[in-house]
Amino acid sequence: MKIWLYLLIFLLPIITQAAKLRGSGDLGVIIERAKGSVLVVDTTVHKSLGRVKGLGDLSHASIVYSRDQRYAYIFGRDGGLTRLDILRKKITHRIIQSGNSIGGAISQDGRLIAVSNYKPGGVKIFDAATLEQVADIPAKFGENDQLSKVIGLVDVPNQHFAFSLFDAGEIWLADMHTPKAPRILKFQDIGRQPYDALISPDGRYYIAGLFGDNGFALLDLWDIYGGVKRVLPDYGKNRPKLPVYKMPHLEGWAMAGEYTFVPAIGQHEVLVMKNWQQVKAIPVHGQPVFVMARPDGRHVWVNFAMPHNDTVQIIDVMTMDIIKVLKPGKGVLHMEFTPRGEEVWLSVRDEDKVIVYNTETFAEVATLPVDKPSGIFFTARAHKIGL
């Protein structure tokens, strides 16, 4: 009897600790933009696991994940860079690295964090474990070495980062094999005011949207010396542009099968490309912000800028028709699919909630109360290029 009692006393802490262990593959983080906080959520049971406060200005916040899916790197608009342990729901490191930043990326090997800045401009590189600064890449251009705002920063295969200079009209490719001495390849005269950019899921194409010109700038990373080419140079030509209440987010472009679906700036359309040539324009409810493909590419989900931001439309890729219209509520800002695409989570900012939909039936599965939610970021992003 005593032996069993001793064994129980010895094993109880081990059993208790084992019960607390869990993976992070079905977790995610939701930005609460007004309060400077985030929620850590479990996507399997549709529950919040806890709130983390003290993250600064999250009005345009984005997140990337460590390779082990445990740490979230949060990029705040106030220049804040925060490393969050999502399993413990605690901040491990936090720095203010600039006056105004607009997103970031994690390197292919997971060792470097890059942040793109509006003020003073340029890109800063940090050690992913300590957030110690490793390198500074000033975005200088012109005869007077002006500093440009940097946007569209993404990780690129072969340990590179790519980003665009809004004021300069340039794309830069940074080779990070020697982190303290990045090698920069510059592509100039790509078009006026690149406002956002993405990299294709296979890591081959870097595409920048142009606010000051028609079309998009396309860089084939398999053929970098072929230079930057203009895609859709005539879209919207000779048509009056509507007021742009919110810039489209190119990270939300849908690449489904042989087609690419993109939001039209200043038009109520989703443009469809094949081999980088337009094949169709689909009329939609308003000005698209995110145009996102379900992971299997079967459907494309679209949300909109104000005043039409209470609506989501779903496009069937085979027919190019709108097959469903949802009304989640006012201020639908962001959409995030679960890794295999059976569900999609929508942030509804003005109604303080996140709604989960079944992507097969379009039925509402769950609703979570969230304070002014915006970005939703699941840990599956850790293993996707450009996310």
Q: What is the pLDDT along the chain (387 residues), one digit of tens a residue?
A: 556 555 555 544 544 444 478 999 999 999 999 999 999 999 999 999 999 999 999 998 999 999 999 999 999 999 999 999 999 999 999 999 999 998 999 999 999 999 999 999 999 999 999 999 999 999 999 888 899 999 999 999 999 999 999 999 999 999 999 999 999 999 999 999 998 888 998 999 999 988 888 888 999 999 999 999 998 887 766 666 555 544 555 666 788 878 999 888 778 999 999 999 999 999 999 999 999 999 999 999 999 999 999 999 999 999 999 999 999 999 999 999 999 999 999 999 999 999 999 999 999 999 999 999 999 999 999 999 998
**Integer angstrom CA distances of residue 296 from 237, 292, 340:** 33, 11, 8
Residue 251 to residue 253: CA distance in whole angstroms: 6
Q: Which domains does the chain have, with CATH numbers?
A: 97-231 (2.130.10.10), 247-327 (2.40.10)
Residue 6 pLDDT: 53
Residue 253 pLDDT: 74
Residue 246 pLDDT: 47
Residue 245 pLDDT: 44
Amino acid at 85: D
Question: Residues 238-263, buried b or exposed e (16+ Cβ, 10 A)?
Answer: eeeeeeeeebbbbbbbbbbeebbbbb
pTM above 0.85, yes or no: yes
| Residue from 189, 175, 184 nearest 217 by CA | 189
